[in-house]
Structure 1
């Protein structure tokens, strides 16, 4: 009897996953950015040029969504080539050794109208840590240019670079330990 129950539970789980809609980030209308404080007096921002995000959800309000991100660490861009090359080096991201940054959500909790706490595992510089970020579901419309449903999200939060052994030679206040994340995206089915 337990084998039959386990079988039906597995079938229900697979059926629910099969019914989920898959949403992909629209590269032209999405950005994965960050900001760090330099010398305690100035904020420096940058972004990753190459990344993909997939959202799987079966509910129209995305309350059951699962988010997955993969970004190319070498695509870091702060508008200063010398700084970008330094960030790609062994002092920071070590892109030759750790070419990918990944995130996979593990939970989504309501935090107000169209707002959630998104938890998941972030892998950065070869280190995986649980993180929780603020997620704002900005709505879904029919995009007039391609006639497809398009949904918008904004993700904000803070991580500590020391948790991921990034730039350990550069103590605060030279570079703040806190790195603010700001990602905005449009997703189509």
Structure 2
């Protein structure tokens, strides 16, 4: 009997250890964007209007978060229809062959306070590369709204990649910079908790 009770206690401990929560992006308050430099003079901003993003974590403070992002490249928007059409063509993103870009984190390391380093794999234009980004995590906090209480967290991510690493465009860097600044931010809403046994 004693052995049985110990076994049950051990199983409960393992389940608690592997309890996992999922946090989905509130898309009305989230954005996935980028900035490039044009003619060495001005910055041009763009974003992907259609995307999905979530975080999963075991720790209540999200300090072990895993970030997953998928964006529909055909939803690219730079506020210029002609330029957007060019970016979708085979000269750049080639959305007919590579309709999505994805990012999945492999490490979420605290630097200090709310600041983190996020490492992960970015797949774009059929090429996967490891990248490192800076992040600021705010919360989680419990918010009151007409639908009741919701637990939310804010996440800002930014960093720089090279478009040449992903074979996106051969246009000279004097026209469009090789360096692309990535900028993503959003509100994440906690979903119903799951456990390893439910996977």
Would the TM-score normalized by the shorter structure come out above 0.5?
yes
Structure 1: distance between partners of 2:177 and 2:77:
18
Aligned to 1:108: 108
Asked whether the equivalents of residues 38 and 174 of structure 1 are also in contact (C-alpha less than 8 Å), the reply is yes
Q: Check if 1:164 corresponds to 2:166.
A: yes
Q: What residue ranges of structure 1 are gaps of 5+ in the alignment? A: 1-10
Aligned to 1:60: 60
Q: What residue ranges of structure 2 are gaps of 5+ in the alignment? A: 1-10, 191-199
2:153 alignment partner, one of 142, 151, 154:
151
Which structure has the larger Rg?
2
Q: Check if 1:137 corresponds to 2:123.
A: no
Q: Check if 1:185 corresponds to 2:186.
A: yes
Tell me the matched-pair count.
Answer: 177
Post-superposition offset of 1:144? 2.3
CA RMSD, aligned part only?
Answer: 1.7
140-149 vs 123-132, which moves further: 140-149
Structure 2: distance between partners of 1:66 and 1:43:
31
Post-superposition offset of 1:125? 0.5
Asked whether the equivalents of residues 61 and 114 of structure 1 are also in contact (C-alpha less than 8 Å), the reply is no
Q: Runs ≥4 in structure 1, deviation > 3 angstroms? A: 14-18
